[in-house]
Structure 1
Amino acid sequence: MDPNTSVGETMKGKGGGIPGTFSEKDLVPNVVIIISALAGLTGNSVVLWLLGFRMHKNTFSIYILNLAAADILFLCCHIIDSLLVIIKFFHPEVVFLPCYKTVMMFPYITGLSTLSAISTERCLSVLYPLWYRFRRPEHMSVAVCALLWAMSLMVCILNKIYCGVMDIHINSAECLAANFFTAACLAVLVLILSGSSLVLLVRFLCGSQQMQLTRLYVTVLFTVLAFLLCGLPLGIYWFVFIWTHDNFSENLHYGLYLASVVLSSVNSCANPIIYFFVGAFRRQLKKQTLKLLLERALQDTPVEDESGGRVPQGSLEKSESREGEEPLPGQS
């Protein structure tokens, strides 16, 4: 079974819940996906606009900008998929896009890769502060993001070539190898994400020198947690459960697919909420703009050192300095 194939196409002719034959209650998850995706598109578009045109860029703002772009593309894929399902419910002659799942897989892998890079870079800034401040390449964030986008596109294209475009049977050795390679890439990214986040958590709780809590650390931690809880199930479905499809009923298969898609949509919507919530925490919301909230969420100043209702000028100057000149962890 090809993970790039639409679920509606996969289940067709097997008596499962396919568009045009499933009950009305199956429309509810797709309506929820569309509503949440539209909300997520709004939030991520605001983040993309602020980071791209209204704020000076630093190390982590570049990663967050690319993560927002990946989330926007991913949510657009969700909207198209759910709209096709709803339209096909009333017009069964509608045909699903042949390469649609490959397109959806591309921003998913890019978002996971970017989040892993964010967590890894934050971990390096804590473990090796001197190297990170003085020896880190100035444009490393831009280069890493470009490399991640290219790598994700290559993985998705190779997977589709060996499993769909060349009409090779989905149970062939080439397709199985391509699926295994893609699943291995996802597994490595998840391990990097989880490992670096765990190191940060242990360093914060058990380090010999107590690491001070900053808004950037909280932002990274919440974003990683949201992905592990809501974003990861879709990857597990694509490359684990889908290979054991024959051992489960069609209703269970389709139900797990809908649940994982809804959760992944919620994950992409949650990121902007996390940024603005962290930026507004312990602050009066009166006369506070979204730009200031986003700046606070990405600042690396200990929370207890902040005072008043404005972002400390020194912190903003540091966050707006050239990329790579981040303050040493624990410094105000």
Structure 2
Amino acid sequence: MDDAGNLSSNATQMSNRVDVVTYSVVACFGIILCLLGMIGNAIVTWILTFSIKRTKYTVYILNLAIADFLYLIFVAVVLLLMVDQMLNRNRLTKVTLLALEVMYDFGYNAGMLFLTAISIERCLSVLFPIWYKCYRPKHLSSFACGFIWLLGALLSLLDNFVCPSQAFMATTKECTGIQIFSTVLTFVFIIPLMLLSSFILIYIIKTTSKKSRPPKIYLAIIMTVIVFLISVAPIRLLWSLLYFKLLNNTITAVAFFFATTYCTAFNSSANPFIYYFVGRQRKKRFGGSINEALSRVFKDDETEQTSDGSTTTSSVN
């Protein structure tokens, strides 16, 4: 999340006043969560790269898995360094902290934007099936993914270089501007778009006849959006309220850091498991192999369900 490096630094400075062993154990559980998420996203990346024919939507999901994988790597590194600082009192250089924070925020921003793009892309195919089939630019997915990576990098660099740790703690005008922009982007554009897209997909699922079931990827998208809204949105809102002093700050920096880290790490780790449980066979307890379960979700994407109940074939990219 934004300014994770600041929170980590504050938590380290407060380690003299907290139970270091307790927070070290909590950090270790966070690292285990990150490792599970990294394994899941690595499997999704492998399957989408080598086992399944790439389509308009799986391009986004592949990039989302890569973004989540990168994010979880740097969350795990931050937690490891935090434990080392609390136990050994080692201090990191400013350059190291800045690099970690840039990559941390980069993975978070990219993942959030990819999830938004996936929701919008699917809704466009449902609401405007003729335009989508006949006039949609052929390489729109690839160009959109490239733009999202660039935008995620720019947001991270802007956040960390315009509003470094010292300026953030002093709540300078520059930092306030960055926080206003981030809050507006999240709660005025991204979250409303996710909600609108999810409601549209839910409506399509409800109105689709039993004979022509909607693709499983519809349910997968809805569930990933719900997980994001439950795990990340409240923390992001709390962060904004605390920064603008609209809420009494009774939360210690170290506790807020762990709450933020666990929520965002859970969000980035959950998607591969969502794909698996959506794609597994109901008659089988464990739904067969992971490859088969994921293939059912993403191969459903080759046949699109339009708003009038007809089906169309999805082309690559």
Verify the 8 A CA contact 1:45 1:68 in the aligned structure 2. yes
Per the alignment, in what secondary structure is the counterpart of residue 247 of structure 1? coil
**Cα 1:70–1:168 shift into 2, 3 Å:** closer
Q: Which residue of 1 aligns with 2:15?
A: 19
Verify the 8 A CA contact 1:162 1:168 in the aligned structure 2. no
Q: Which residue of 2 aligns with 1:158?
A: 158
Structure-2-length-normalised TM-score:
0.84
2:6 corresponds to which letter in structure 1? S
Of 148-157 and 101-110, more deviation after overlay is shown by 101-110
How many residues align? The count is 304
Verify the 8 A CA contact 2:119 2:194 in the aligned structure 1. yes
Q: Which runs of 5+ in 1 are unaligned?
A: 302-317, 320-325
Within 5 A, what are the aligned runs for 1:8-157?
8-10=8-10, 18-19=14-15, 21-23=17-19, 24-95=21-92, 97-99=96-98, 100-157=100-157
Within 5 A, what are the aligned runs for 1:1-332?
3=3, 5-10=5-10, 18-19=14-15, 21-23=17-19, 24-95=21-92, 97-99=96-98, 100-164=100-164, 170-187=170-187, 188-205=189-206, 212-244=213-245, 247-251=248-252, 253-282=253-282, 284=284, 288-300=288-300, 318=302, 326=304, 328=306, 330-331=309-310
Identity percentage of aligned residues: 27
Distance 1:222 1:266 in 2: 13
**Cα 1:114–1:89 shift into 2, 3 Å:** same
Q: Which residue of 2 aligns with 1:323?
A: none
Verify the 8 A CA contact 2:280 2:287 in the aligned structure 1. no
Distance 2:5 2:49 in 1: 34
Structure-1-length-normalised TM-score:
0.81
Verify the 8 A CA contact 1:11 1:250 in the aligned structure 2. no
Distance 1:245 1:28 in 2: 32
Distance 1:121 1:134 in 2: 15
Verify the 8 A CA contact 1:163 1:169 in the aligned structure 2. no
What's the CA shift for 1:258?
1.3
What's the CA shift for 1:296?
0.9
1:98 corresponds to which letter in structure 2? L
**Cα 1:133–1:46 shift into 2, 3 Å:** same
Q: Deviations over 1:89-138 (max 9, x none)?
A: 21112326331333211111111111111111111111111111121111
Q: Deviations over 1:241-295 (max 9, x none)?
A: 34439832353x4323312311221221111111111111325479944333212
Of 188-197 and 78-87, more deviation after overlay is shown by 188-197
What's the CA shift for 1:38?
0.5
Distance 1:254 1:155 in 2: 25
What's the CA shift for 1:146?
0.8
Q: Deviations over 1:123-176 (max 9, x none)?
A: 111111111112111111111111111111111111222112897984222221
Verify the 8 A CA contact 2:123 2:201 in the aligned structure 1. yes
Verify the 8 A CA contact 1:19 1:92 in the aligned structure 2. no
What's the CA shift for 1:235?
2.9
What's the CA shift for 1:58?
0.2
Distance 2:169 2:29 in 1: 34
Per the alignment, in what secondary structure is the counterpart of residue 214 of structure 2? coil
Distance 2:4 2:269 in 1: 23
Verify the 8 A CA contact 2:41 2:68 in the aligned structure 1. yes
Distance 2:310 2:260 in 1: 41
What's the CA shift for 1:39?
0.7
Distance 1:215 1:269 in 2: 20
Q: Which runs of 5+ in 2 are unaligned?
A: 312-317
Q: Which has the higher helix share?
A: 2
Per the alignment, in what secondary structure is the counterpart of residue 163 of structure 2? helix
